[in-house]
């Protein structure tokens, strides 16, 4: 296995931090013969603790604070390949017996898309970069505000959210006269882009790209921003906010992408260094050479 050979500047945090993405344990996406589930997993306690911390802490005020903090884009100046390499410092506790670098998952996802859609360069690149927002964790963000399923804040939680509505019992927004209602601070069929999503790597990468400029199509931004919004694209919830005129296309691409993201980890490991010229070319075509994070 040839790993990604990219030099990181000394200011990038080098400490190995635990990162478990609880979205990987959603039961409706698990083949029980191949994948763990979050119900009887030995990591159940940690997964549940992560979600309960998320559901208690992700309030409207918290998200606004995070948007202000990370929206300064003053934490690092790094190329996309440097960020992918930096994610190797995040240890996925969901796979304690593997030394597979996180960067390998990025290339596995991209290569699976490339096999099926060799003509869609933008989609291949989206597969490569979709998790790079997890660099949040390296720069001090809480794990429950970096990974996991996303959902709108400012309205009542829905049934398909992992661990259910009862897991929000510590969230003060449930006592708010507006935020605790079904529609909350939104209007019916307002469209997904009008929602304030819980804070995590999806929203962060979306905003990084918007801030720095890019040449990706809208479908790529939809995948990046909503690929962890499982209660919507897999659970069928929050459709009262769904605007068919703008969101049907989003749903089509996010659902199509999900099959590549969830099931891309395998024993077939790409030779990353051999692939580097191709993916460097894609990055150069669609993204700035260096981005502010």
- pLDDT tens track for 58-92: 999 999 999 999 999 999 999 999 999 998 888 65
Q: 168 — phi, psi (to 5°)?
A: -95, 10
Q: For CA atoms 231, 180, 224, 136, give the dihedral sign.
A: negative
Give Cα separations from 292 to 107, 207, 236, 289 (angstroms): 22, 11, 35, 10
pLDDT digits (tens, 9 = 90+) for 258-273: 988 765 555 577 888 8
| pLDDT over threshold 90, residue 17 | no
The pLDDT, as a whole number, for residue 5 is 75
pLDDT bin (cut points 50, 70, 90) of residue 149 is: very high
**Which residue, 126, 117, 159, 132, is CA-closest to 254?**
126
| pLDDT over threshold 70, residue 56 | yes
> Distance between CA 195 and CA 212 in Å, rounded?
22
pLDDT bin (cut points 50, 70, 90) of residue 18 is: low
What is the β-pairing status of strands 291-292 and 77-78? antiparallel
Q: 217 — phi, psi (to 5°)?
A: -75, 170
**Which residue, 19, 17, 61, is CA-closest to 146?**
19
Q: Give the DSSP H/E element, type plus range, for residue 77.
A: strand 77-78
The tokens describing 88, both together, are: 């190797």
Is residue 229 within 8 Å of residue 241, measured between CB atoms? no
The pLDDT, as a whole number, for residue 99 is 52
3-state secondary structure of 292: strand
* Over residues 131-136, mean pLDDT: 94
| pLDDT over threshold 60, residue 291 | yes
* Over residues 143-159, mean pLDDT: 94
Domain chopping of the chain, boundaries: 44-292
Q: Could you tell me how many residues make up the chain?
A: 293
The pLDDT, as a whole number, for residue 1 is 47
* Over residues 221-225, mean pLDDT: 98
Q: Which residue has tokens 């240890």? A: 91
The pLDDT, as a whole number, for residue 9 is 80
Q: Which residues contact 214 (CB under 8 A, 6 or more apart)?
A: 286, 287, 288
The pLDDT, as a whole number, for residue 10 is 76
The pLDDT, as a whole number, for residue 226 is 98
> Distance between CA 220 and CA 213 in Å, rounded?
13
pLDDT digits (tens, 9 = 90+) for 93-118: 433 334 567 788 899 999 999 999 99
The pLDDT, as a whole number, for residue 264 is 55
DSSP state of 152: B
The pLDDT, as a whole number, for residue 158 is 95
The pLDDT, as a whole number, for residue 36 is 35
The pLDDT, as a whole number, for residue 19 is 62
């Amino acid at each position: 296995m040839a790993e990604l050979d990219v030099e990181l500047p000394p200011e990038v945090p080098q400490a190995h931090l635990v990162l478990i993405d609880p979205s990987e344990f959603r039961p409706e996406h698990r083949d029980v013969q191949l994948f763990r589930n979050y119900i009887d997993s030995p990591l159940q306690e940690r997964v549940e603790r992560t979600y309960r911390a998320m559901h208690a802490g992700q309030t409207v005020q918290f998200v606004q604070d995070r948007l202000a903090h990370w929206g300064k884009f003053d934490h690092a100046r790094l190329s996309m390949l440097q960020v992918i390499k930096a994610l190797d410092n995040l240890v996925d506790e969901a796979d304690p017996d593997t030394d597979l670098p996180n960067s390998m998952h990025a290339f596995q996802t991209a290569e699976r898309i490339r096999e099926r859609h060799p003509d869609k360069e933008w989609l291949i690149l989206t597969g490569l970069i979709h998790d790079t927002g997890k660099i949040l964790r390296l720069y001090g963000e809480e794990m429950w505000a970096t990974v996991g399923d996303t959902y709108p804040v400012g309205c009542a939680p829905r049934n398909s959210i992992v661990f259910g509505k009862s897991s929000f019992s510590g969230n003060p927004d449930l006592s708010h006269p507006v935020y605790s209602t079904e529609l909350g601070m939104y209007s019916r069929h307002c469209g997904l882009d009008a929602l304030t999503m819980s804070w995590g790597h999806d929203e962060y990468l979306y905003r990084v790209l918007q801030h720095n400029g890019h040449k990706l199509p809208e479908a790529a931004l939809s995948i990046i921003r909503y690929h962890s919004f499982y209660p919507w694209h897999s659970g069928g919830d929050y459709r009262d906010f769904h605007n068919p005129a703008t969101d049907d296309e989003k749903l089509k691409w996010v659902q199509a992408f999900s099959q590549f993201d969830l099931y891309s980890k395998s024993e077939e490991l790409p030779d990353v260094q051999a692939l580097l010229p191709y993916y460097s070319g894609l990055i150069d075509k669609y993204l700035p050479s260096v981005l502010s994070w």
